[in-house]
Amino acid sequence: MSIKIALLGCGTVGTQVARLLKEQNDLLSARAGAELELIGISVSNLETQRDPVIDRALLTTDSRALIERADIVIELIGGIEPPRTLVRYALESGASVVTGNKALLAEHGPELYDLAKAANVDLYYEAAVAGAVPVVYAVRESLAGDSVKAIKGILNGTTNYILDEMTTKGLAFDEVLATAQELGYAEAEPSADVDGRDAAAKIAILASLAFHKRVSLADVDVEGIRSITSADIEAAAKNNFVIKLVATAAQTGGKIEVRVAPTLVPTAHPLASISGSFNAVVIEAESADRLMFYGRGAGGTPTASAVLSDVVAAAAKKVVGGRAPQEIVLGESEFVPACEAVSRYFVRLRVNDVVGVLAELSRAFADSGVSISAVRQDSDDESGRASLTITTHAATAADMAATIESVSKVSDVREIVRVLRVEDE
């Protein structure tokens, strides 16, 4: 018996999937319980130069004809269209689908899950979140006997590389972004990464799995890292924090909060030490307590590893029967309003260095119902001015906004430089 595999897309990841299917076919086939046969690779241009590992006899531009001959379809094109149309066609044709397309799942996941269920086939997507890090499997299967309370993670290697370089080398955002683009860590058009949308799509997928509710990209409160400066990072370090782009999904009292934002992480926190382009996810579960997953979140070979894990699982189901774990939806999703979201905050201010300014600021915070946890003052280069950083206890976003409004009216406040969230230890 052989399992026929169609590969849609032959970019960096697709090329490595084809290579590993060829080089490790005996092992992968033994794990699947049947020979895994790559029957074709769909591409948009047959004339494009490709890695020599690609058998050009397998290339085709007719995706639909290729899908019709396949037992398993691997979608690695990326984006919404044509992947949505092709994945729908594959499922309707009776093929199981393996995809690494987080944008597609974050926007159209429910539609595809329903279609897979109706067609009695499987939809796998380990590679859609955190590359080689097996966090989808962990949430969907390993923690099936537990209740997940929260997921927090660094889910975008590009932004973590940028922030790490800014932290360790004191470089400016634009300078590091340019280097990241030269090294291939960042796309020529990097907005999906640096504006947080890539991480938002991934945390939406994890939130859906963890809380058994439907969470889409539109449900995620998103803020990127473009505004972060070297001065922000220096101020964080002086207060024993590092700045990371943290994706968070939490459920309290049946309400879900999902966000992506640059966040001050205490140096003792597990996420603080994640360097370079690595990803890490911390899961807080009712019984298992805290679990951490760490590894390469991008790149051809690491992501191909996750894709092939799904291929083996999907093939094994074809051989022995049965279905992969199905989507579970327990009622309508109810989200925490943005104004009610609770967090600690870190506020950077420039003030006149005069007697009484701290007392005025303390009153402004107290009058808005926000408690101060710590204050640090540093001399400013400009005569008669000081730099203040204020860390708060937990407060709602609405109360924090009211506080900032009050602080802005204090006569000796020259500038409110930055307001950032703070992660608990």
pLDDT tens figures, 139-174: 999 999 999 999 999 999 999 999 999 999 999 999
Q: Which long-range contacts (CB under 8 A, 24 or more apart) does 329-336 make?
A: 329/212, 329/213, 329/214, 330/212, 330/213, 331/213, 332/213, 333/213, 333/214, 333/215, 333/219, 333/256, 334/254, 334/255, 334/256, 335/219, 335/255, 335/256, 335/257, 335/258, 336/252, 336/255, 336/256, 336/257
CATH topology (fold) of 135-296: Dihydrodipicolinate Reductase; domain 2 (3.30.360)
Rounded to 5 degrees, what angle do the CA atoms 277, 136, 297 make? 10
**Backbone φ, ψ for residue 373 (5° rounding):** -95, -40
Q: Which amino acid is at 87?
A: V
What lies within 8 Å, CB to CB, of 425 at 6+ separation is 266, 268, 269
Confirm whether residue 15 is marked as ligand binding. yes
For the domain 342-422, what is the CATH code? Answer: 3.30.70.260
Cβ atoms within 10 Å, residue 60: 15
For the domain 2-128+300-320, what is the CATH code? Answer: 3.40.50.720
Confirm whether residue 244 is marked as ligand binding. no
**Average confidence (pLDDT) over 296-321:** 92
User: Looking at 107-204, which runs of residues are DSSP E strands?
Assistant: 123-124, 148-154
**Average confidence (pLDDT) over 1-21:** 95
Query: Which region holds residue 79: left if phi is over 0, alpha if psi is between -120 and 50, else beta?
Result: left
Report the C-alpha gap between 247 and 260 in whole angstroms. 4
Q: Which two tokens stand for residue 161?
A: 């590389």
pLDDT band at 71 (very low <50, low <70, confident <90, very high): very high
pLDDT band at 382 (very low <50, low <70, confident <90, very high): low
SS (H, E, C) 212-225: CCCCCHHHCEECCC
Q: Are 341 and 397 in contact (CB under 8 A)?
A: yes
Confirm whether residue 369 is marked as ligand binding. no
Confirm whether residue 396 is marked as ligand binding. no
Q: Which two tokens stand for residue 172?
A: 């400016």
Confirm whether residue 8 is marked as ligand binding. yes
Report the C-alpha gap between 10 and 235 in whole angstroms. 44
Q: Which two tokens stand for residue 312?
A: 């083996």
Q: What is the dihedral of CA 268, 265, 127, 328, to 10 degrees?
A: 100
pLDDT tens figures, 330-348: 888 899 999 999 999 999 9
**Average confidence (pLDDT) over 277-302:** 92
Is 4 an annotated catalytic residue? no
pLDDT band at 381 (very low <50, low <70, confident <90, very high): low
Domain ranges of the chain: 2-128+300-320, 135-296, 342-422
Q: Residue 281 above 70 pLDDT?
A: yes
Confirm whether residue 11 is marked as ligand binding. yes
Q: Are 350 and 386 in contact (CB under 8 A)?
A: yes
What lies within 8 Å, CB to CB, of 289 at 6+ separation is none
- Does an H or E element contain 265, and which? strand 255-266
Q: Residue 304 above 70 pLDDT?
A: yes
Report the C-alpha gap between 282 and 133 in whole angstroms. 12
Q: Which of 4, 152, 202, 318 is catalytic?
A: 202
Confirm whether residue 389 is marked as ligand binding. no
- Does an H or E element contain 351, and which? strand 342-352
Q: What is the reported pLDDT for 379? A: 75
β-sheet bridge partners, residue 124: 98
Checking DSSP bridges between strand 59-60 and strand 35-42, what pairing results, if any? parallel
Q: Which two tokens stand for residue 320?
A: 């022995």
